[in-house]
Amino acid sequence: MTARQALRALLAGIAVWAAPPAGAAPAPGGTLRAVEQRRELRWGADVFGGAPYVFQDPMDPNHLVGFEVELADALARRLGARARPVAGAWDKLLDLLARGDFDVALNGIEVAEEKRRVCLLSRPYYAAGERLSVRRGDPSAPRTLEAVRGRRVGTLPGSLAQRILERAGAVVVTYDGGQDQIYDDLRLGRTDAVLLDDPIAHYYADVQPELETVPGSFGEVRYAVAVRLGDEPLRDAIDEALAELARTGQLRALYRRWGIWNAGTAALLGEPYAARPALSEAWEAWRAAVGRPPSLRERLLVRYPRTFGLFARAAGLTLLLTLSSMALAMAVGALLAAARRYGAAPVRWLAVGAIELIRGTPLLVQLIMIYFGLPELGVKLDPFVAGWLGLGLNYAAAEAENYRAGLESVPVGQGEVATTLGLSRLQALRHVIAPQAIRISVPPMTNDVIALLKDSSLVSLVTLTELTKTYSNLAASMRDHLGLGLVVAAWYLLLGLPLARLGRLAERRLGRHLRRAAA
Amino acid sequence: MIRVGALVKRYAAAAEPALRGVSFEVASGRLVAVLGRSGAGKSTLLRCLVGLERFDEGTIEVDGVTVRAGDGPRGLRTLHGRVGLVPQSLDLFPHLSALDNCTLAPRVVKGERRAEAEARAAGLLGRLGLAAEQGAYPEHLSGGQRQRVAIARALTMEPRVLLYDEPTSSLDPSLRDEVRRTLLTVKESGVTQLVSTHDWEFARSAAEWVLVLEGGAIVREGEPGQVVG
């Protein structure tokens, strides 16, 4: 196969994958029709540190729990479907919704005017007060809105709490990570207070004896289900279902079970309110699981073994993504290197331009452009394909330079002698130049595979739950960053060490002509 | 048989042409030295003869095949395989054993079967005294052995003409005689040989005819005894 044929085949392959994945595009009858037909409601949420909304059960992380999990189940049942959660970063949920990665976003999405430009919102299903948490016994802790001026206060980005704090003149610290990190920073003295929605404060501040929550609310936020623009039938169906759940008391029961029943929500649903239930089963279970670090024995014998399935699946995805991306990087890299070394001037400039462009911009930017940018041009890639393409093309630039260095390490005379012997350029490349060049390129390639293995963690952006994402989810829900960190490190080594060994073997084999023993 | 007519070669970057009207003839089976200082144009002449370099004026004829000035890669390709080269740097393929260095081109270019190519290559290596070194990689051979592998590698394509670029320059002076004997061995097979060298002593002892190249032109030619010394 000539280089041109190979390139054409590659482009054709990309074009095939570039076709929208079946089922992701809105069906002719709108998303409601699609949900009814496939009997499945795909709902987007961030499981990263999302108690009591959506989170992995700390006692058994194979289960996704939370009041919104139960709400999604109840809504789906009303629509005659089963609920299937799709993981995405919280601040990207509306983008992912617009892309069509799921039917609805249901994860503490605040009712706010500016959101109506990008999505439709259902009637609110919950009202939460904004609660201020501080270190217990901290005499200088800010306990009023006036007192937060100039103080460091943590919260979630893009939230009502952030806007309240900014108006009050606080130094706002926002987090991309989970809510546990926000309260950890408060506990460790990196911030002076945390302002967040009542359920979060209840599940993260109230379980820690070192923290206390100031009485009273600093504002109220309402949550609604987000639906794609133009999907009015689905929004109406969800409104109807929510009204029915409220009327039958199912919502109240659900919130009481989770210990988050409050006056605001009671008013919202038109129900009487006495007081927050003294204790709730779900909250007690959560506190028991995360309030006190489990013993090493319990971690090793009970908790970590339960993460095996999740980590194994994630490791499989990580490995598959790494190997397939590296294959793409090698193929495209070889083409770029050949174009750069042997091409006519315009081809050479194109290759150099492509290499510099890819190499000079962050992988994260490229992934965002591929996943969220290309749909603007009508190219909507499946998450795996987007991740594969992003990683593969990014590393292709590195590989191209790698192979160029290899090609240039072979003396020009070698190619010339091959020519005088009658070999064509391609034959000389294949039998004389490439075998020598590859030997030079293998050590940096091994390095790149390992780097790619680690960089594959960036694809959590495109909703793929690989090893690192699995770790951060688990660490947040089990509140065990150190121990699980060692566990995930072991998984990475398990994948990386054989790859490194393979590289060394290849190096040895390709360099056997340099060893005395071979003579 | 080699017939070179009024050969002119200019390099883009150079003010003076590297070859300025070189003409000579070498009869089949002869062993001829091209003598000259470095920079006289010896290497350029060899590169033109072997088809690695286009030239600006003149003709090169090798056993009935003629290449003219301005001929592109297709024209030059007619010389490949027909004219063999033993470069000064030898350029053995380091990742291949001595035997594989010699079988690569017959197998890839002529499509010979491995066994057939190996038998022929082994025969050539044996004649050049390398029977025991067939399996060795170039890295593990002496300078003289490497040179003979390079010669064998060129001979596997059965060229009518074999060119040597400074065959004694990278060798210990005591090996000069070994090179001479090798050339005489090759001569037995009837191959026309052209040896570029700045080594007058070697030219006198090995060659049947000497061309003296100076400033890109042939200034003298004749039998070694007449031209040299």
Q: Could you report the per-residue pLDDT of A316-354, keeping only the tens digit for each?
A: 999 999 999 999 999 999 999 989 988 889 999 999 999
The pLDDT assigned to B70 comes to 83
pLDDT at A485 exceeding the cut of 60: yes
Which chain A residue's Cα is nearest to B138?
A513
> pLDDT at position B136, please?
94
Q: Please write the tens of the pLDDT for every residue from A43-59.
A: 999 887 688 999 988 88
**ipTM of this complex > 0.90?**
yes
Q: Which two tokens stand for residue A512?
A: 């056997």
pLDDT at position A232 is 93
Domain boundary among A190, A221, A252: A221
Pick the residue from chain A with its C-alpha nearest to B106: A421
Q: Does A420 touch chain B (CB under 8 A)?
A: yes
Contacts of B157 in chain A (CB under 8 A): 421-422
Q: pLDDT per residue over A218-228, tens digit each? A: 999 999 999 99
Residue A25 has pLDDT above 70, yes or no: no
Dist CA B40 CA B102 (whole Å): 32
CB contact under 8 A, B84 and A420: yes
> Min CA distance, A334 vs chain B (Å)?
20
Question: CB-based contact (8 Å) between A437 and chain B?
Answer: no
- Same domain flag for A371 and A385: yes
- Grade residue A401 by pLDDT with cuts at 50, 70 and 90: very high
CA distance B8 to B26: 18
Tell me if chain B has a CB within 8 Å of the CB of A513: yes
Q: Where are the alpha helices (DSSP H) in A84-146?
A: 93-99
Across the range A87-113, mean pLDDT stands at 91
Q: How confident is the model at residue A10 (pLDDT cuts 50, 70, 90)?
A: very low
Intervals of chain B under pLDDT 70: 228-229
| Mean pLDDT along residues A403-410 | 92
Angle at which helices A308-342 and A434-455 cross, to 10°: 140
Gap between the Cα atoms of A212 and A193, Å rounded: 10
φ, ψ for residue A121, nearest 5 deg: -115, 140
Side chain identity at residue A332, one-letter code? V
Q: Choose from A342, A416, A420 for mutation: most chain B CBs within 10 A.
A: A420
Last residue of a domain, one of A195, A221, A247: A221
Domain shared by A288 and A339, yes or no: no
Quick one: which of B102, B99, B88 has its CA closest to B158?
Answer: B102
Q: Domain total for chain A?
A: 3
Give the nearest partner residue to B136 out of A422, A427, A519, using CB atoms: A519
Contacts of A434 (CB under 8 A, 6+ apart): none
- The minimal CB distance from B85 to the residues A420, A510, A513 is found for A420
What's the rounded mean pLDDT across residues A257-265? 91
Task: Give pLDDT tens digits for B3-37.
Answer: 999 999 999 888 889 999 999 999 999 999 999 98
Q: Nearest CB to A422: which of B93, B94, B157?
A: B157
pLDDT of residue A4: 52
Inter-chain touch B137–A514, beta carbons under 8 Å: yes
Q: What is the mean pLDDT of residues A76-89?
A: 92
Beta bridge partners of A65: A55
Domain boundaries of chain B, sorted by first residue: 2-82+159-227, 93-145+153-158
CA distance B227 to chain A (A): 31
Alpha helix stretches (DSSP H) within B83-113:
98-109
Alpha-carbon distance B52 to nearest alpha carbon in chain A (angstroms): 7
Same domain, residue pair A338 and A480: yes
Same domain, yes or no: A150 and A99:
no
pLDDT score at A516: 59
Banded model confidence at residue A5, pLDDT cuts 50, 70, 90? low
Q: Do A364 and A476 share a structural domain?
A: yes
In percent, the amount of chain A with pLDDT more than 90 equals 63
Over residues A108-133, the mean pLDDT reads 93
- Identify all chain A residues contacting B135, using CB atoms and an 8 Å cutoff: 519
The boundaries of the domain holding residue A492 are 308-518
Residues of B in contact with A416 (CB under 8 A): 52, 87, 91
Indicate yes or no: CB of A423 within 8 angstroms of CB of B140. no
**Mean of the per-residue pLDDT values of chain A:** 88
Nearest to A49 by CA among A482, A464, A480, A456: A480
**Domain match, A331 and A467 both:** yes
In a domain, A210, yes or no: yes
In this predicted structure, the answer to whether residue A12 has a pLDDT above a threshold of 60 is no
Residues A343 and A231 both lie in one domain: no
Q: Tell me the CATH number at A435.
A: 1.10.3720.10
Closest residue, chain A, to B109 (C-alpha): A423
Q: Write the CB contacts of B153 (distance below 8 Å, at least 6 apart in sequence).
A: A417, A421, B92, B101, B102, B104, B105
Distance from CA of B87 to the nearest CA of A (A): 8
Last residue of a domain, one of A292, A316, A346: A292
Structure tokens at A461: 């952006």
Predicted local confidence at residue A7, as pLDDT = 46
Contacts of A422 in chain B (CB under 8 A): 80-81, 105, 109-110, 157
DSSP 8-class letter at B10: -
Task: Report yes or no on A7 lying in a domain.
Answer: no
What's the burial of B173, exposed, middle or buried (CB within 10 Å: 0-12/13-18/19+)?
exposed
Respond yes or no on whether the N-terminal peptide bond of residue A52 is cis (omega within 30° of 0): yes
In a mutational test of the A interface, the residue from B46, B54, B93, B163 whose CB has the highest number of chain A CBs within 10 Å is B93
Question: What's residue A287's pLDDT?
Answer: 85
Contact A519 B51 (CB under 8 A): no
* Number of other CB atoms surrounding residue A375 within 10 Å: 17
- Same domain for A170 and A317: no
- pLDDT for residue A28: 58
Task: Kindly state whether residue A1 falls inside one of the protein's structural domains.
Answer: no
Element (H, E) at A85: strand A82-87
Name the residue among B91, B108, B136 with its Cβ closest to that of A414.
B91
At A5, the amino acid letter reads: Q
* Partner residue opposite B109 with nearest CB, options A421, A439, A513: A421
- State the pLDDT at residue A491: 95
| A472 occurs within a structural domain | yes
Residue from B76, B91, B147, B194 to probe the interface with A (highest A Cβ count within 10 Å): B91
Per CATH, the number for B2-82+159-227 is 3.40.50.300
Contacts of residue B51 in chain A, CB cutoff 8 Å?
419-420
A176 band by pLDDT with thresholds 50, 70 and 90: confident
Across the interface, of A416, A427, A516, the residue whose CB is closest to B108 is A427
Task: Answer yes or no: do B80 and A516 touch at CB < 8 A.
Answer: no
* pLDDT value at A15 more than 70: no
% of chain A exceeding 70 in pLDDT:
93
Residue A17 is assigned to a structural domain of this protein: no
User: Does residue A164 lie within any of the structural domains?
Assistant: yes
From chain A, the residues in CB contact with B93 under 8 A are 414, 432, 436
How would residue A514 be classed by pLDDT, with cut points 50, 70 and 90?
A: confident
* Chain B residues closer than 8 Å to A434 by CB: none
Name the residue in chain B with its Cα closest to that of A510.
B95
The 8-class DSSP code of residue A26 comes to P
- Is there a contact between A421 and B104 if contact means CB atoms under 8 Å apart? yes
Is A258 inside any structural domain?
yes
A413 to chain B: which residues are within 8 Å by CB? 87, 89, 91
Q: Please report, for the domain that includes residue A69, its CATH number.
A: 3.40.190.10
Contacts of B154 in chain A (CB under 8 A): 420-421
Indicate the pTM of the whole model.
Answer: 0.75
Interface of B with A (CB under 8 A): 50-52, 80-81, 83-85, 87, 89, 91, 93-97, 104-105, 108-110, 135-140, 153-154, 157
**Do A340 and A387 share a domain, yes or no?**
yes
The DSSP letter of residue A259 is: T
Q: How far is A511 from chain B (nearest CA, A)?
A: 8
Write the residue in A431, A514, A518 that is nearest to B108 by C-beta: A431
Same domain, A326 and A461: yes
Q: Is residue A303 part of a domain?
A: no
Residue of A nearest to B86 (CA): A417
Number of residue pairs across A and B with CB atoms under 8 Å? 76
Contacts of A221 by beta carbon, 8 Å cutoff, 6+ apart = A110, A111, A127, A128, A130, A159, A160, A161, A197
